[in-house]
């Protein structure tokens, strides 16, 4: 039996897809890159913006044609969109299986069921905001431990979930409704899992959570977890995403200073620089309070690299509000920012209470403008690396061509990241993938540092 998998969305989804792949491999399935030769199509979906859902629907439309030549094709949709739409997605003519993100351990059983009898199969949380039964959570924990592995395309790197869900209810965000309430995973399980990963050659672990700095169990806070993970032999770099800029425990910054393995990188979305919009977004902080956290981080860890997220065109966003976001980018001096156009999500408070009143043309324009402000700062920050040597963990060969072309087959262009998450491109042998390399930086653009292997 051959499976074709498509995965949309964030790091959390990539991790889920990786677990699902490994569980099917163990179940005797094979994977194919050719949808035409697949018996089963798995689609991991994202609901964070409408565009992500549209892409899934268009893929499902394409599956209708494939089904014509292969009537037995099984199509399973899992992840956030499956949880959001439940039956509505199951009623889609091409879909056989709908499976929520909390139910992914059941996917192999559902697929086998669909292969045996052609009945549609569904596994989703009926009441997603109710804390999942401990049995479901421990099944998920075991699934995580059993099937986590080195990332397929990133040798020596692995993602480890430290918490599920979110309780923040930012007014625009669908995550609390599709990933459920915040639950921190037991530290012992996380540690055992990381030890297993390092035994398999992992050097960098990225701890994942929607609001990773709020990690809390009876025994440990997130800072404690960083100390515990740091003790694991074989772990060389520890990264963590994403932080939430409220109730920030300063001991996390202290841990970054104390622990050389913890990377000096913080992804801490602001979403807007306008207090009025932040309030309407239900973010729970003002622009000033946000900046205080960033400044505190920089005071304790002077060379920390900070990345942000912004939404443009949130309901009611005036030119003045928008200008404040641009000002915040200047003040925070982000190394990079991810900028999104507001997309109303059904079921969220912003969608129910506020009109999506910023025209798409203006959203587009603000997106471009904010990117330009950020690009200038990114370039300035990147230029400070020219003439310096940085340590890079190599991802592999670069898929797309960069400023320079590679120096031939023996020395293709390699791409990797520094501890501060800066992207570095340089020529070197492909077998350096998964290795740490010192690179002299010779040139910098807004997105990339270019250099030569030392």
Contacts with 198 (C-beta within 8 Å, 6 or more apart), sequence order:
232, 233, 234, 235
Q: Which does 342 bind (CB under 5 to 8 A by kind): ligand SF4, ligand 5AD, none?
A: ligand 5AD
Taking the least distance from each CB to ligand SF4, the nearer of 92 and 363 is 363
Number of residues this chain uses to bind ligand 5AD (CB under 6 A):
12
Among 33-41, 114-122, 178-186, 335-343, the segment contacting ligand 5AD (CB under 6 A): 335-343
Residue closer to ligand 5AD, measured from CB, 177 or 215:
177
Q: Contacting ligand 5AD (CB under 6 A), which of 98, 114, 154, 173?
A: 173
Which range binds ligand 5AD by CB under 6 A, 161-169, 318-326, 336-344, 413-421? 336-344
- Asked if residue 114 binds ligand 5AD (CB under 6 A), the reply is no
Q: Is 342 in the site for ligand 5AD (CB under 6 A)?
A: yes
If one asks whether residue 340 binds ligand 5AD (CB under 6 A), the answer comes out as yes
Q: Tokens 């904010």 label which residue?
A: 370
Tell me the CA distances in angstroms from 9 to 149, 239, 251, one per residue in order. 19, 19, 31
Question: Considering beta carbons, is residue 159 or 342 the nearer one to ligand 5AD?
Answer: 342
Alpha-carbon gap, residue 26 to 19, rounded angstroms: 11
Burial class (CB within 10 angstroms; exposed 0-12, middle 13-18, buried 19+) of 172: buried
Nearer to ligand 5AD, 146 or 309 (CB): 309
Positive/negative CA dihedral, 372, 377, 381, 383? positive
172 near ligand 5AD, rule: CB under 6 A: yes
187-199 vs 222-230: helix crossing angle, rounded to 10: 30
Nearer to ligand 5AD, 185 or 341 (CB): 341
Taking CB under 6 A as the rule, does residue 343 contact ligand 5AD? yes
The residues, any chain, with a CB within 8 Å of residue 190's CB and separated by 6 or more, are: 160, 162, 207, 225, 229
Q: Which is nearer to ligand 5AD, 243 or 297 (CB)?
A: 243
By a kind-dependent CB cut-off of 5 to 8 A, residue 49 interacts, out of ligand 5AD, ligand SF4, none, with ligand 5AD
The reply to whether 307 sits near ligand 5AD by the rule CB under 6 A is: no
Region from 126-134, 257-265, 280-288, 339-347 binding ligand 5AD, contact rule CB under 6 A: 339-347
Q: Token pair for residue 341?
A: 């156009």
Q: Is 209 in the site for ligand 5AD (CB under 6 A)?
A: no
Which 34-53 positions form the footprint of ligand 5AD (CB under 6 A)?
Answer: 48-49
Which of ligand SF4, ligand 5AD, none interacts with 340 (beta carbon under 5 to 8 A by kind)?
A: ligand 5AD
What are the phi and psi torsion angles at 238 (to 5°)? -120, 120
Phi, psi angles (nearest 5°) of residue 154: -130, 85
Candidate ranges 157-165, 195-203, 340-348, 394-402; the one touching ligand 5AD (CB under 6 A): 340-348
The residues of the shown chain that bind ligand SF4, judged by CB under 6 A, are: 166, 168-170, 173, 175-176, 210-211, 244
**Between residue 255 and residue 284, which ones bind ligand 5AD under the rule CB under 6 A?**
269, 271
Could you give the CA distance from residue 308 to residue 269 in angstroms, rounded to a whole number?
4
To the nearest whole angstrom, how small is the minimum distance from the Cβ of residue 208 to ligand SF4?
12
Query: Could you say whether residue 239 binds ligand 5AD (CB under 6 A)?
Result: no
Q: How far is the CB of 48 from ligand 5AD (least distance, A)?
A: 5
CB of 34 to ligand SF4, least distance (A): 35
Smallest distance from ligand SF4 to CB 347, Å: 12
Identify what 169 binds: ligand SF4, ligand 5AD, none; CB under 5 to 8 Å per kind. ligand SF4
Is 345 among the residues that bind ligand 5AD (CB under 6 A)? yes
Contact residues: ligand 5AD, CB under 6 A: 48-49, 172-173, 269, 271, 309, 311, 340, 342-343, 345
């Amino acid at each position: 039996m051959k499976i074709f998998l498509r995965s949309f969305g964030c790091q959390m989804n990539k991790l889920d897809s990786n677990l699902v792949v490994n569980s099917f491999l163990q179940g005797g399935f094979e994977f194919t890159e050719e949808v035409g030769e697949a018996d089963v199509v798995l689609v991991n979906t994202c609901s964070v913006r409408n565009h992500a859902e549209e892409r899934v629907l268009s893929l499902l439309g394409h599956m209708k044609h494939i089904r014509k030549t292969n009537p037995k094709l099984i199509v399973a949709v899992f992840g956030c969109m499956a949880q959001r739409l439940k039956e509505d997605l199951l009623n889609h003519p091409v879909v056989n299986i709908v499976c929520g993100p909390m139910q992914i351990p059941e996917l192999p059983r559902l697929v086998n069921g669909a292969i045996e009898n052609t009945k549609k199969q569904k596994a989703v949380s009926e009441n997603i905001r109710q804390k999942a039964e401990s049995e479901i959570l421990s099944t998920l924990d075991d699934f995580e431990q059993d099937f986590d592995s080195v990332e397929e395309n990133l040798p020596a790197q692995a993602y480890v979930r430290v918490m599920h869900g979110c309780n923040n209810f930012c007014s625009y965000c669908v995550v609390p409704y599709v990933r459920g309430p915040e639950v921190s995973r037991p530290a012992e399980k996380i540690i055992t899992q990381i030890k297993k990963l390092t035994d398999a050659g992992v050097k960098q672990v990225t701890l994942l959570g929607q609001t990773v700095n709020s990690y809390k169990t009876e025994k440990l806070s997130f800072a404690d977890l960083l100390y515990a993970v740091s003790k694991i032999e074989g772990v060389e770099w520890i990264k963590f995403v994403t932080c939430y800029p409220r109730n920030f425990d300063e001991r996390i910054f202290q841990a970054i200073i104390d622990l050389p393995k913890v990377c000096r990188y913080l992804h801490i979305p602001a979403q807007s620089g306008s207090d009025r919009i932040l309030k309407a977004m239900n973010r729970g902080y003002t622009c000033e309070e946000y900046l205080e956290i960033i400044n505190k981080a920089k005071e304790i860890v002077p060379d920390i690299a900070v990345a942000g997220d912004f939404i443009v065109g949130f309901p009611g966003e005036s030119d003045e509000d928008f200008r404040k976001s641009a000002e915040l980018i200047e003040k925070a001096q982000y190394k990079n920012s991810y900028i999104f156009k507001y997309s109303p999500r059904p079921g969220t408070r912003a969608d129910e209470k506020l009109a999506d009143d910023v025209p798409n043309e203006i959203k587009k324009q603000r997106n471009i403008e904010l990117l330009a402000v950020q690009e200038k700062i990114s370039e300035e920050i990147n230029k400070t690396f020219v003439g310096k040597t940085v340590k890079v963990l190599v991802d592999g060969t670069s898929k797309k061509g960069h400023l320079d072309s590679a120096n031939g087959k023996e020395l293709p262009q390699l791409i990797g990241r520094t501890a501060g998450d800066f992207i570095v491109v340089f020529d070197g042998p492909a077998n350096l993938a998964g290795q740490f390399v010192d690179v002299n930086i010779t040139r910098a653009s807004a997105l990339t540092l270019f250099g030569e292997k030392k």
